[in-house]
Amino acid sequence: MSLFRVARQLSVACSVIAANLRTALEYRVSFILKIVSAFIIDIGFFFVWYIFYEQFPVVNNWRFSDTALLLSVAWMGLGLSGLFAFGAYRLSCNITEGKIDSYLLLPQPILLHLAISQTDVSCVGPILSSSLMFWASGYASWLSIPIFIVVSIMSALITTNFIIITQSLAFFIGNFEETADVLKHMLMFSIPYPPTIWGPMKFITMTIIPSFFIATVPMGLIKNFDIISLMLFIGFWLFSTWLARSVFYRGLRSYESGNLVTLKI
């Protein structure tokens, strides 16, 4: 793929996302309410963890500052993923209802266009709260901030890949929305806990529900940067990207068009 083509696709993606944000801003009250409520929820959740560690200061060598850092990276990743690629979260619904037809005619890559076609503005809340959590963790420094930004973006990409894989299963299994939603909630629920409590079940967080790569590895990179963990992180990101593309495009071959008439501007 030429550099020019990549730049052109990025430019189109930016235009679509900007248009999505302008559309969301049309309903100003709702826009602000969604962001504020998401922010309050995250801070409330963070406060509960603070109380937990007040009662139990050390859990298997894991402290509040570790949870704060873990949550900050994961929430930033989830926030960025939902803000820029919320279309991926609606994939199974669009597949079941046969709403992908209009995207098949577009000159841009279908998967990219589907993913960026929608924006969840409430995800601005987690992005703001995760910045506060990062500061509260005590790990924020001039050196760690750039690492935090880069690993959060990669965490967002892995999260999006996971969502694409689970949502694309709707191509093969009918009415998969509920199960895809369950898998998403399983991922979100498995993130905030100390990785040291998982024991032999840790393999679940490295495979089916990849919270290890979405939260634990990037968090470790901020705490103690090492090249092996970075390679592992990049390797898993590349693997998940390949898997997401393969599952989606293989499924697309068996996609049955709907008879809905839709207008895309």
Partner 1 sequence: MLKAYKYFSIFYVNLRSKTAHMPDVLSRAPVMLLRLWILERLYSTAYLSAGAKNFGGLSVAQIIWIVMIVQCLTISTRPRVSAIIDEEVKSGALAYTINRPYSYILFHYFGFFGRMIPGFLTIVIAGIVSALLVSGAISVTITAFFGAILLLLGGFTLDFFIRLSLGLLAFWLEDTTAFSDLYDKSVAIVGGWFFPLALFPKTVQTVCEYLPFSQLGYGAARLFVNFDGALFFRYLTLQAAWIIIMIVVALMLYRKGMRNVSIQGG
- Residues in contact with partner 1 by the rule CB under 8 A: 27, 29-30, 33-34, 36-38, 40-41, 44-45, 47-48, 51-52, 54-56, 58-60, 122, 178-179, 182, 185-186, 189-190, 193-194, 196-199, 201
Phi/psi for 74 (5° steps) reads -65, -45
Compute the least distance from the CB of residue 122 to partner 1, in Å. 7
C-beta of 29 vs 261, nearer to partner 1:
29
C-beta of 103 vs 176, nearer to partner 1:
176
Kindly provide the b/e burial profile for residues 58-68, where b requires at least 16 CB atoms within 10 angstroms of the residue's own CB: ebeebbbebbb
Compute the least distance from the CB of residue 125 to partner 1, in Å. 10
As to burial, measured by CB atoms within 10 angstroms (0-12 exposed, 13-18 middle, 19+ buried), residue 176 is buried
* SS3 state of residue 1: coil
Closest by CA to 89, choosing from 17, 180, 156, is 180
C-beta of 122 vs 216, nearer to partner 1:
122
Amino acid letter, residue 37: S
Q: How far apart are CA 72 and CA 74, in angstroms?
A: 6
- Tell me the C-alpha to C-alpha distance, in Å, between residue 220 and each of 29, 69, 211: 39, 9, 13
| Matching residue, tokens 């989606």 | 248
C-beta of 55 vs 224, nearer to partner 1:
55
Closest by CA to 233, choosing from 214, 247, 246, is 214
C-beta of 109 vs 194, nearer to partner 1:
194
C-beta of 100 vs 219, nearer to partner 1:
219
